[in-house]
């Protein structure tokens, strides 16, 4: 897994349950093992009559994917509505176009949903913290937390570090820094100044440094 993009590794299995009007009743639509197997066999043979049944029966999988992103990448929580929409659209597309063997259906469907949500998140993020587990380990070791810039992640591409991003979203940064200390907030604010206004921290006056300190405190209290 690249450290420069938000994505789920196979070991990221923790879930964070959440409420959402489109996802609250997913368990009611879940098919029995027998019905699920029969519907998958039909759809893989090109029988579209079970399309809607199979989509509803796998909404729980779409919710599961979103819950894993929320658990392992907390800053994606503000994208919950978008992740729900993206995962449902991906599920519909996968079922509509499925040509795999029945035994492959679940794994390929899950991979398709994860990939689509991954692409969406990385296309709409400019800065983010490393995964929660990575930063927990770094914090325990007394090391600075990690932050990364992203470039839009297109199908088939591997995310890469952009040392001179075209923009840095202040909302992204604040979301990433909600639980960090003043030093880290200060670092990110000075990065905004340098990137957006070409201001070097060494050139700041005492008054400007004080203003940054106050802004850092406001950010940490959000």
Residues 88-101, buried b or exposed e (16+ Cβ, 10 A)? bebbbebbeebebe
Task: Quickly state the pLDDT bin for 143 (edges 50, 70, 90).
Answer: confident
Encode pLDDT of 99-142 as tens digits.
Answer: 888 889 999 999 999 999 998 887 777 655 566 677 677 777 87
* Predicted TM-score of the model (pTM): 0.63
- In this predicted structure, the answer to whether residue 205 has a pLDDT above a threshold of 90 is no
pLDDT score, position 86: 95
CA separation for the pair 67, 195 (Å, rounded): 34
C-beta of residue 201 within 8 angstroms of C-beta of residue 187: no
Give the residue carrying structure tokens 């349950």. 17
* The predicted structure's pLDDT at residue 156: 45
pLDDT above 70: percentage of residues in the chain: 58
In the predicted structure, residue 167 carries a pLDDT above the cut 50: no
pLDDT category, 222, cuts 50, 70, 90? very low
Residue 114 · residue 8 · CB < 8 Å: yes
* Residue pLDDT, tens place only, 192-204: 555 444 456 566 6
Comparison of pLDDT for 128 and 79, the residue scoring more: 79
Rounded average pLDDT over 24-30: 91
Q: What are the Cα distances from residue 177, in Å, to 27, 109, 137, 172? A: 34, 33, 16, 9
> Above 50 in pLDDT, residue 2?
no
SS (H, E, C) the chain: CCCCCCCCCCCCCCCCCCCCCCCCCHHHHCCCHHHHHHHHHHHHCCCHHHHHHHHHHCHHHHHHHHHHHHHHCHHHHHHHHHHHHHHHHHHHHHHHHCCCCHHHHHHHHHHHHHHHHHHHHHHCCCEEECCHHHHHHHHHCCCCCCEEECCCCCCCCCCCCCCCCCCCCHHHHHHHHCCCCHHHHHHHHHHHHHHHHCCCHHHCCHHHHHHHHHHHHHHHCC
Contact 29, 39 (CB under 8 A): no
60 pLDDT above the threshold of 70: yes
- Res. 208 pLDDT band, cuts 50 70 90: low
């Amino acid at each position: 897994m690249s450290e420069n993009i938000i994505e789920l590794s196979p070991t990221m299995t923790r879930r964070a349950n959440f409420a959402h009007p489109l996802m609250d009743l997913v368990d009611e639509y879940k098919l029995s093992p027998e019905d699920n197997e029969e519907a998958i066999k039909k759809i893989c043979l090109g029988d579209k009559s079970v399309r809607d049944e199979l989509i509803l029966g796998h909404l729980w999988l779409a919710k599961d994917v979103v819950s894993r992103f929320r658990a392992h990448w907390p800053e994606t929580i503000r994208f919950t509505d978008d992740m729900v929409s993206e995962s449902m659209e991906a599920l519909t597309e996968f079922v509509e176009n499925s040509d795999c063997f029945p035994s492959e259906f679940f794994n390929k469907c899950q991979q398709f949903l994860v990939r689509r949500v991954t692409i969406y998140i990385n296309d709409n993020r400019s800065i983010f913290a490393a995964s929660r587990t990575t930063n927990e380990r770094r914090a325990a070791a007394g090391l600075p937390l990690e932050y990364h810039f992203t470039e839009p992640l297109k199908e088939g591409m591997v995310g890469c570090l952009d040392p001179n991003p075209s923009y840095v979203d202040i909302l992204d940064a604040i979301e990433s820094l909600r639980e960090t200390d003043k030093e880290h907030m200060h670092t990110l604010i000075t990065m905004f100044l340098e990137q957006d206004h070409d201001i070097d921290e060494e050139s700041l006056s005492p008054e400007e440094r004080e203003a940054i300190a106050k802004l850092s405190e406001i950010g940490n209290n959000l």
